[in-house]
């Protein structure tokens, strides 16, 4: 019977954070399933191909930045506040380069794969434009949002290590698809 009680305890401890992540995912899914988004997927072939990479890489870019900042705070290498500290600025600039750079690379890969397979694809400039706009907006929001939350939790005595994973996934899901929607609308208006 003890094993069942232990399993129940693990269940109760883990459920709240999974429910938060579920809520973020359902919101993101609602945006993806909306008429405006599905029209975008039809109009720009290649977006569905790059969608999983776009949604998943952000966890890696900003999760890594969060883990670095958290270690830096624990080691006393940086202070928990926005400043022109060299380490902090470097970590932020590197995350911008990684986040925006990989978004553009994903657009080029998607275009290249469809062309190599002889399938219908949106124009390269359209896919790169959409990924550039959504990549820039997502980077700005996630980098500064994550820093603000990590600094605040550290000052309140919480260990950021336990919070970064769920924060990144939830913010990433929500803002990722919203800015993708914005980017499709903007680029759809230009071309």
- Does residue 157 bind other proteins (CB under 8 A)? no
Rounded-to-integer distance, Cα 75 and Cα 69, Å: 10
Among 77, 125, 152, 158, the residue binding other proteins under the rule CB under 8 A is 77
Site size toward other proteins (CB under 8 A) is 73
Shortest Å distance, C-beta 148 to other proteins: 18
- Does residue 182 bind other proteins (CB under 8 A)? no
Which region, judged by CB under 8 A, interacts with other proteins, from 56-64, 131-139, 150-158, 178-186? 56-64
- Nearest CB to other proteins, comparing residues 76 and 190: 76
Of residues 103-122, those binding other proteins (CB under 8 A):
105-106, 109-110, 113-114, 119
3-state SS track over 61-113: HHHHHHHHHHHHHHCCCCCCCCCCCHHHHHHHHHHHHHHHHHHHHHHHHHHHH
Rounded-to-integer distance, Cα 143 and Cα 62, Å: 7
Rounded-to-integer distance, Cα 166 and Cα 62, Å: 12
């Amino acid at each position: 019977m003890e094993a069942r009680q232990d399993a129940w305890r693990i269940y109760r401890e883990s459920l709240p954070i999974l429910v938060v992540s579920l809520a973020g995912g359902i919101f993101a899914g609602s945006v993806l399933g909306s008429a405006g988004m599905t029209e975008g997927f039809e109009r720009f072939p290649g977006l569905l191909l790059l969608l999983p990479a776009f949604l998943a890489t952000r966890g890696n870019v900003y999760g890594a930045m969060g883990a670095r900042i958290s270690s830096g705070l624990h080691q006393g290498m940086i202070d928990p506040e926005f400043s022109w500290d060299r380490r902090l600025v470097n970590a932020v600039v590197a995350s911008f380069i990684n986040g925006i750079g990989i978004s553009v690379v994903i657009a080029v890969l998607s275009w290249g794969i469809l062309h190599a397979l002889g399938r219908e694809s949106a124009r390269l400039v359209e896919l790169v434009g959409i990924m550039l706009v959504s990549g820039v907006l997502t980077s700005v929001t996630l980098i500064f949002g994550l820093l603000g939350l990590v600094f605040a939790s550290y000052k309140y005595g919480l260990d950021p290590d336990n919070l970064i994973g769920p924060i990144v996934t939830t913010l990433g899901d929500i803002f990722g698809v919203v800015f993708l929607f914005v980017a499709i609308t903007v680029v759809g208006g230009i071309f």
